[in-house]
Chains A and B, each alone.
Chain A
């Protein structure tokens, strides 16, 4: 079977089970990604881990009390014990000197331990109906039913509607709780509501992907989305899209290979999306920041060479050669050569038989750098009372960063000085 047939079979509606599973997983990941955006923004990424481990005792107790394998009772138990775990984390944090990380780890492991105890109790009591309980731990995405998909859709719709309605409240408490309090928001209520949405989503999702990987559905899409935008609305949309796409692609991959688990593949696809966003994000991405750094590096090199040529010319040298730049100003030969070549391309200098001549454009640029350098030295000595021999290094760095606006401001502030602290003239 070729790839195309593979894909068409996969997406044909006749292949009912697969259709259900892929749509179900997609919708679930969408719901989790959207609500997880706030978990991410509130810097509580690991709370998802705690909730997903903590639903277990609730599920087991629901089973022990009712004796039937009813998903509604399971869900109710899961939600209650999830909420209790969040409350405990908050309570212990306010009452003791323990740091959040210890409390999170302790809560999740103890709740899970209690769950395992109850689960083994049920198993050893020989109740045949318990087999479904295990799916709560490790997920059963592959055996998803239409009922599950309806449930996922319901929670996705609830999440989206609630977030649309309360976007302002949710955003404000995610960024600044105290500010929200000052504005008269009922912070406790909003936090509780957000916690409820998160717990319900996790409780439902755990059944599909399992305890450990549920944390990823919540937090991984938002982590990637954050690198693509600064707007919270866009972030929500991107998270949802990442989640939905990963759900479907993950199911597709696990369907293509034999014996491939669905949950882990969804998480791997999700992580791939997020990694790409982290690497390729337009502003915040790793490559984008590397490029900015590279550009700055080039700019600094250019300016330093221009400045040194100008200084040598200022000292009265008629002809400046590359050799002099290397000897007198300690430039590295290789780097200097490439920088000079670049500067010639930009029409800043002319290179004639080993001699370096500044063009008018180059002269203006060099004077600008020197001006900024000397202005900054005056500023430091005047406002920070630094000695003259402490000024140079700092100015050496800042001269490349000062914008025309700051320069204007400095000139105004220092009343257009004529000479710097070393009695060198300032070129205007």
Chain B
């Protein structure tokens, strides 16, 4: 049963990240996702400090808000200060991360939170806090939150699909037809922040980035159809979670690390198959 809980938790993170990551990959904004996942640290800490846990919904939203704050900061740097965008991302998230660590070391003696936990998470421990759902059925507390966010994101993507799609693939057309490009940008960024905040405790920032970039990139190499890409990214994410978990158990190593490694291996295989071999075949045939 523990295996099931852990794989379910990782898979839920994978689905959340695949949904958001596919849009980020197509918008060339994955590194902003990376930045958000580090920059939420002060928000998460403040949430911890006030409530003592990340389990309550208003606090979650508050922490996710700090992710949006990070995107606002990046935007201020690029648009108002005219700093080039890569540097704007680098400067803002390192600053926010540094502030987060200073806050933790100053006031966080009791908070169960440190850099290690932020970077690689502790998915093994999700099973320690089981809670009943629908009476008899038991689920880890983290998993319930992830499930709720997952449902929220699926609904949001389905309802907002048209707007997200058009602002992703043809922002100029969207702008000229009066679609609120800015609204959909922040709509997506809120989703990314929420995903990062609820995922960080169980899998850590690094696996969140691996999930945000890996499965969507693999799916993108395999298909041109965006709807298929979304679905494929989710499946790849779930597959990598399960494989990674069993590999970690077998080798007795970190689960989050193992899943990232499996994503890397999966990407390498798909990349060699689609980009290296196929290109060679094209060269030979012409």
Binding site for B on A (CB under 8 A): 40, 43-46, 48-49, 53, 92, 95-106, 108-121, 124, 134, 137-138, 210-213, 215-216, 218-220, 222-223, 226-227, 257, 259-261, 263-265, 267-268, 271, 274, 278-279, 284, 286
B253 partner, pick from A99, A117, A218, A260, beta carbons under 8 A: A117
Task: Please give, as numbers and ranges, the residues of chain A lying within 8 Å of B275 by CB-CB distance.
Answer: 92, 95-96
Given known contacts A43-B86, A96-B274, A267-B95, A102 and B257 CB-to-CB distance under 8 angstroms: no
B254 adjacent to A116 (CB under 8 Å): yes
CB distance from B35 to the nearest CB of A (A): 9
A110 in contact with B210 (CB, 8 Å)? yes
Q: Produce 1/0 per residue, B106-149, CB < 8 A to A.
A: 10000000011001100000000000000000000000000000
Contacts of A121 in B (CB 8 A): 251-253
Q: Given A112-B206, A223-B83, A259-B105, answer yes or no on A271-B95 (Cβ-Cβ < 8 Å).
A: yes
Indicate if the CB atoms of B221 and A109 lie closer than 8 Å: no
In the complex, chain B residues 217-272 whose Cβ is within 8 Å of any chain A Cβ: 217, 220-221, 248, 251-254, 256-261, 263-264, 267, 271
**Interface SS of B by simple majority:** helix
Among A98, A121, A223, A227: residue with most chain B CB under 10 A: A98
Give the Cβ gap from A278 to chain B, nearest Cβ, in Å.
5
| Contact status A46-B253, CB under 8 Å | no
| Chain A residues, Cβ within 8 Å of B86 | 43-46
Contact A109 B207 (CB under 8 A): yes
Instruction: Give the residue of A106, A118, A210, A219 whose beta carbon is less than 8 angstroms from that of B91.
Output: A219
Asked whether B101 is an interface residue with its Cβ less than 8 Å from the other chain, the reply is yes
Contact at B220–A219, with CB atoms within 8 Å? no
Query: Contact: A124 with B97, CB < 8 Å?
Result: no
Given A116-B254, A137-B119; A267-B94 close (CB under 8 Å): yes
Chain A residues contacting B210 (CB-CB under 8 Å) are: 106, 109-110, 113
Residue among A105, A218, A259 making CB contact with B34, cutoff 8 Å: A105
**B residues less than 8 Å from A268 (CB atoms):** 95, 98-99, 102
List the A residue with the shortest CB-CB distance to B26. Answer: A99
Report B's interface with A, CB cutoff 8 A.
Answer: 25, 28-31, 33-34, 38, 77, 80-84, 86-87, 89-91, 94-95, 97-99, 101-102, 105-106, 115-116, 119-120, 206-207, 209-210, 212-214, 216-217, 220-221, 248, 251-254, 256-261, 263-264, 267, 271, 274-276, 279
> How far is it, in angstroms, between the C-alpha of A416 and the C-alpha of B83 when the chains are bound?
44
Contact among A98, A116, A257 with B206 in the assembled complex (CB-CB below 8 Å): A116
- The answer to whether A216 touches B261 (Cβ under 8 A) is no
Chain B residues whose CB sits within 8 angstroms of the CB of A45 once the complex forms: 84, 86-87, 89-90
CA distance in complex: A212, B120 (Å): 13
Query: Which B residues touch A101, using CB under 8 A?
Result: 28-31
